[in-house]
Amino acid sequence: MLWIATTLIAALAQTGRNAAQAGLTGRIGTAGATAVRFIFGLPFAALALAIAALLNTLPAPGTASLAWAVMGAVAQMLATGFLLLAMQGRGFGIATALSKTEPVTLALIGAMLLAEPLGWGRIGAIATAVLGVLLVSGADWSRAGLRSVFDGVMAGALFGLSAIGFRGAILALPEGGFVLRALTILTLTLAVQTVLALVWLSLFDRKALSGIIREWRGSLAAGALGAFASLFWFTGFALTSAANVRTLALIEVPFAQLVSGRVFRQRASARQLAGMGLIVAGVGWLLWVAI
C-alpha cells in the first residue's frame, strides 16, 4: 500500500514544480526552464543524501546500477525533447495525450528488460486509463500529422524507458532500505543530467544559461519541488513496478480538470467527462489487481 501514498505525493509535488517551471519559461525559455529541475534539484538531493549518510551506510552503485541510471537520465532528457517537438508540431493537447501512452510502453519494456509479469488484469487497467487520457485531452485528432504522432509516442516510450532505467538502477543496488536506495539513485541521476544540461546550454544556448543564473531565486523553488517530487517517484519505483506507479499517476489528469472547473470555471465536455471516468476506472482496476 505504501507505493500508492508515495505516488500520490509525487504527483502533487510535480504539479507544484510544473507551475514553478511554467512561470520561468517566459523569462528564460523552454530549455532553461527544463534544465532548472536538474541543476537546482541536485543540491537538495545531495544534501538529503549527505544527511542520510550520517545515519546509514550508503549503498555503493556498481556497474549495472550506474548503467541503468545513465540510461534513465538520458532517456528522460530525450523524452522531454520529443515532447517539445510534438507540441510545436500539433499543439499541447495532442502532444500531452500521446505522451501519456507511457504506461503502455512502460509495461511492455518492463516485461522485456526486468521480467516483470504483465497479466491481463494489468494490461486491461493500463489500456483503460490511457484511453481515458486520450478522451480527456480534448484534442482535434484529425489535425494530428504522422510526425506529431511519432514525436508524441516516442516521448511516451522514452519516459517509460527512463522509469525502467531508474527502477533497474534501484534494484541493482547491493543493499539499503527503499528510501535510501531511491535517494542514492536520485542524486546520481540528477548529477548526470546536470552535467549534460550544463554542457548543452554552454555550447548551444548560452542565453538560457545566463537567464538561469539571473533567475536563481525562482529556479531554487522549482529545483526544491522537483527534487521532492522525484524522491517520491523513485521511492515508488523501489516499491513496485514502474508501470504501476506511472498508471496511478494518471489520476492527476481528472484532478486537474476538476480544478479547472472549480477555479477557472472551465466546463468539461461530455467526452472529457467520459475520459475522466475511464481514468478513474482504470486506476481503480489497477489498484484492485496490484493489491
DSSP letter for each residue of 101-170: THHHHHHHHHHHHS----HHHHHHHHHHHHHHHHHHT---GGG--HHHHHHHHHHHHHHHHHHHHHHHHH
- Kindly give the parts of the chain with pLDDT less than 70: 18-19, 21-23, 25, 84, 86-101, 105-106, 114-118, 134, 136-149, 252-269, 272, 287, 290-291
pLDDT in tens, 231-247: 999 999 999 888 788 77
**Sequence-distant (≥ 6) Cβ neighbours of residue 290 within 8 angstroms:** 122, 240, 244
Give the per-residue pLDDT at 39: 92
Residue type (1 letter), 218 = G
Q: What is the Cα–Cα distance from 209 to 198, expressed in whole angstroms?
A: 8
Q: What is the DSSP letter of 56?
A: S
Q: What is the DSSP letter of 137?
A: T
The C-alpha cell at 230 is 522525484
Give the per-residue pLDDT at 41: 92
Give the per-residue pLDDT at 221: 84
Q: Is 58 helix (H, G, I), strand (E, B) or coil?
A: coil
Dihedrals phi, psi of 145, to nearest 5 degrees: -75, 165
Dihedrals phi, psi of 40, to nearest 5 degrees: -95, -10
**Could you tell me if 67 and 166 are in contact, meaning their C-beta atoms sit under 8 angstroms apart?**
no
The C-alpha cell at 271 is 467526452
Give the per-residue pLDDT at 263: 46
Give the per-residue pLDDT at 90: 53
How is the chain split into domains, by residue range?
A: 2-118+143-242
Kindly report the pTM of this predicted structure: 0.79
Q: What is the Cα–Cα distance from 155 to 95, expressed in whole angstroms?
A: 9
